[in-house]
Amino acid sequence: MKDVARLAGVSVKTVSRVVNGEPGASAAVRQRVLNAAERLDYRHNLGASTLRRKDARSGIVGALLQDVGNSYSAGLLRALEDALRPAGLSVLAASLDEEPERERDIVSDLVARRADGLVLMPATHRHEYLISERRAGLPMVFVDRRPHGLDCDSVTVDNHGGAKLATTHLLSGGHRRIAMLSDLEDIETAVERRAGYRAALDDAGVEFAPELLVHSVRGELEAARTVTALLHLADPPTAILAGRNIITVGTVRALRAAGAQREIAVVGFDDFPLADLVEPALTVIRQDVQRIGAEVGRILLDRLNGEGGPPRHLVIEPTLVQRGSGEIPPQQVSR
């Protein structure tokens, strides 16, 4: 900047004015400065600018998601980007892979970077460690999972309701032996979905069968193995509720392998790109990622615009998308 000023024959302050489009520079001077900047390959240093300015906006929002390669996180990231970029904000994305330590590391990195806001799909269960940031005024929005021990905005899905909806749908199709495969025991969404499943059974007066609720099913392969094991029970399930997208994939693969894909009903939690092209087409509980991302972005922007008030907790209702796999009637028990 000093060099540009010298070449243009003005002061650094004038260069600053031109660069920032502030008034107080004549057209002639403006042009001279721009030419000099061009000639010297001058680039504005946003870091220094942020440091000096009063309102110090870094223009960065951190998005800590489960896995940006996963279609759910990826869709969310995209929707978030669309909501934030028009406001001049860039998104720094990170995958947590359910590792609490990673979450804490990345949060502290983002805090040191003076991020303007945080979007968090937490891998941790307690969030007291964020209280001081919250108090310091850092806007935060939790997605998919609620904050615990921390007062901040959140956008979640009614997991209990969704799982109940799915289970009730299977029950009303005549199923009584409904299995559920669920994620890690202590992930909140998984807990809620299991509760929804049980609530639906209770409401229908169907006794809960412990052997049909399997949790800590991580990944596709484990889901497939679990389904195969379930099929070999003396009294196997006639329907399966898959607790999460990759579990659904594993489930479908296992049923395929057993040639049972037209005999066992399946409802998956989470929709995905080709779900309607699978044979039979997959009935799923769909979360509107697009909308969730947009809402998260909107809340964050409101907070950045200084909106005060108590935390907002938006709960979005998932919908049942019937495509065939969930409408398979219960088959005679093979014996």
Partner DNA sequence: TGTTCTTACGTCAACGTTGACGTAGCGCAA
Partner DNA sequence: TTGCGCTACGTCAACGTTGACGTAAGAACA
Binding site for its own copies (CB under 8 A): 41, 43-48, 50-51, 58-60, 67-71, 73-75, 77-79, 81, 85, 90-95, 106, 109, 111-114, 132, 135-136, 249, 252-253, 256, 272-279
Say if CB 298 and CB 83 are below 8 A apart: yes
16 binds, among its own copies, DNA, none (CB under 5 to 8 A by kind): DNA
Residues in the chain: 335
In the complex, what is the shortest distance from the CB of residue 4 to DNA, in angstroms, rounded to a whole number?
8
Among DNA, its own copies, none, what does residue 272 contact (CB within 5–8 Å per kind)?
its own copies
If contact means CB under 5 to 8 A according to the sort of partner, which of its own copies, DNA, none does residue 232 touch?
none
Q: Which is nearer to DNA, 13 or 125 (CB)?
A: 13
Contact 277, 310 (CB under 8 A): no
Query: What single DSSP character describes residue 70?
Result: S
Say if CB 88 and CB 59 are below 8 A apart.
Answer: yes
Q: Are strands 90-95 and 153-157 parallel, antiparallel or unpaired?
A: unpaired
User: What is the spatial distance between Cα 143 and Cα 137, in angstroms, rounded to a whole number?
Assistant: 19
The SS3 of residue 182 is coil
Chosen from its own copies, DNA, none, partner binding at 277 (C-beta under 5 to 8 Å by type): its own copies
Contact positions toward DNA, by CB under 7 A?
1-2, 9-16, 19-20, 23-26, 28-29, 43-45, 48-49, 51-54
Q: Taking a C-beta distance cutoff of 8 angstroms, is the pair 237, 214 a contact?
A: no
Which residue, 34 or 316, is less far from DNA as judged by CB? Answer: 34
302 CB-contact burial (10 Å; exposed 0-12 / middle 13-18 / buried 19+) = middle
For residue 23, the partner it binds in its own copies, DNA, none, with Cβ less than 5 to 8 A by kind, is DNA
Q: How far is the CB of 129 from DNA (least distance, A)?
A: 20
Helix (H, G, I), strand (E, B) or coil at 218: coil
From the list DNA, its own copies, none, which binds 89 (C-beta under 5 to 8 Å, kind-based)?
A: none
- Of 251, 192, 188, nearest to 217 by C-alpha is 251
- Greatest Cα pair distance, the chain, in angstroms, is 94
> Minimum distance from CB of 298 to its own copies (Å)?
18
Closer residue to its own copies (CB): 90 or 322: 90
Q: Residue 76 or 212: which CB sits closer to its own copies?
A: 76
Q: How far is the CB of 134 from its own copies (least distance, A)?
A: 11
Nearer to DNA, 26 or 305 (CB): 26
**What is residue 54's DSSP assignment?**
S
Q: Residue 105: enclosing H or E segment and its boundaries?
A: helix 100-112
Closest to its own copies by CB, 93 or 314: 93
